[in-house]
Amino acid sequence: MSILIDGKATSQAKREALTQEVAAFREETGCQPALAVVMVGDNPASAVYVRNKHTACESVGMYTETLHLPEQTTEQELLALVEQLNQDARFHGILVQLPLPKHINETKVLDAISPDKDVDAFHPYNVGALVTGRERFLPCTPAGIMELLRFYGISVKGKNCVVIGRSNIVGKPMAMLLLAQDGTVSICHSKTNNLRQITQQADILVAAVGRPRFVTADMVKEGAVVIDVGINRLDDGKLCGDVDFDTVAPKAYAITPVPGGVGPMTITMLLYNTLTAAKLAVSGK
Ligand code: NAD
């Protein structure tokens, strides 16, 4: 019987600890960590994510405001708002919810966020800091996965780690964090040859592909730890991961479910980054 890695319970435990930390920080400095969330347009999935972030911030004692702009907002208007938030000392963290409408260049907007307020850790400055081991903010989804591994006592040191997916948001930073913990890391992607032969070597397999049930039992080594990042909406409205859970779980030492695995940890790590941003602001570093 494999271990079910419970992201909900882990996230709950971490948020309780964070609530204490935020209270102590406020007591000590008089500063309430604050996050500005910018959303453009009316993407229903984004609206859910933004609402969840808002509730999560408040639940740990942080201040948050959601700035909701209309779909027709121009790139220039959005850049002007980001600059205004960069200068606004009331906010320690800024998050621009993706995706943005097609007429807005996402990279340009993300690059405009001050690296000191970049709680998603997407800015090239923070990506460079991560790669060179000098990170202040950790990319939320991969950092949440590392927390799950730690929480369940799963060591990365010396393990064969295979990440499927090379996105800037998940795949690449995931590989960096595993490497930083002394994993031997391979990154696979849509042009990888012999994917199955590579994944079969994985002691820790992370799937961040965005294809329902992409990872099947024949791709997984007996006793592997399987982390499913995928969030795919099926025709019947149900959510499903990138891993074929029913056939893979019996082979795995431990596995994350979807929903209730990686997902809940992502927002928790965003909260940690917001506290870090407030600490940076207070210390002036
Ligand atoms: P993406 O589309 O940017 O990247 C997908 C990656 O999969 C690409 O690098 C691509 O090369 C690779 N890929 C595609 N087809 C492949 C194939 N046949 N073989 C091997 N590799 C292949 O997606 P993303 O932003 O990295 O997200 C991946 C999944 O994770 C999505 O389902 C997304 O919804 C989910 N996600 C979840 C969270 C969370 O908090 N749980 C956060 C971010 C993303």
Domain 140-263 is of which CATH architecture? Answer: 3-Layer(aba) Sandwich (3.40)
Nearest CA to ligand 1 atom 5: 209
Task: Please choose from 107, 189, 194 the residue to mutate so as to test ligand 1's pocket, defined by most ligand atoms within 8 A of CB.
Answer: 189
Q: Residue 133's pLDDT is what?
A: 95
29-119 matches 140-263 in fold? yes
Task: List the chain pLDDT tens, one digit each, 285 residues.
Answer: 699 999 999 999 999 999 999 999 999 999 999 999 999 999 998 999 999 999 999 999 999 999 999 999 999 999 999 999 999 999 999 999 999 999 999 999 999 999 999 999 999 999 999 999 999 999 999 999 999 999 999 999 999 999 999 999 999 999 999 999 999 999 999 999 999 999 999 999 999 999 999 999 999 999 999 999 999 999 998 999 999 999 999 999 999 999 999 999 999 999 999 999 999 999 986
Check if 139 has its Cβ closer than 6 Å to any atom of ligand 1.
no
For residues 48 and 92, what is the distance between their CA atoms, to the nearest angstrom?
23
- DSSP one-letter string for 181-206: TT-EEEEE-TT-SSHHHHHTT-SEEE
Radius of gyration of the chain (CA): 19
Helix (H/G/I), strand (E/B), else coil: 132: coil
> Any catalytic annotation for residue 97?
yes
Q: How far, in Å, is the centroid of ligand 1 from the Cα of 272?
A: 24
> Any catalytic annotation for residue 84?
no
Q: Residue 285's pLDDT is what?
A: 67
Q: What is the per-residue burial (b if ≥16 Cβ within 10 Å, else e) of 139-164?
A: bbbbbbbbbbbebbebebeebbbbbb
Q: How far, in Å, is the centroid of ligand 1 from the Cα of 242?
A: 9
Q: How many residues does the chain have?
A: 285
Q: Give the start-to-end residue ranges of the domains of the chain.
A: 29-119, 140-263
- DSSP one-letter string for 230-242: --EE-TTS-EE-S
For residues 16 and 21, what is the distance between their CA atoms, to the nearest angstrom?
9
Q: Residue 284's pLDDT is what?
A: 83
∠ Cα 248 13 137 (to 5°): 85
Handedness of CA 216, 219, 223, 227 (dihedral sign): negative
Residue 255 identity: I
Tokens encoding 189: 């992607």
Domain 29-119 is of which CATH architecture? Answer: 3-Layer(aba) Sandwich (3.40)
Check if 165 has its Cβ closer than 6 Å to any atom of ligand 1.
yes
Return the number of other C-beta atoms located less than 10 Å from residue 66's C-beta: 17
Helix (H/G/I), strand (E/B), else coil: 259: coil
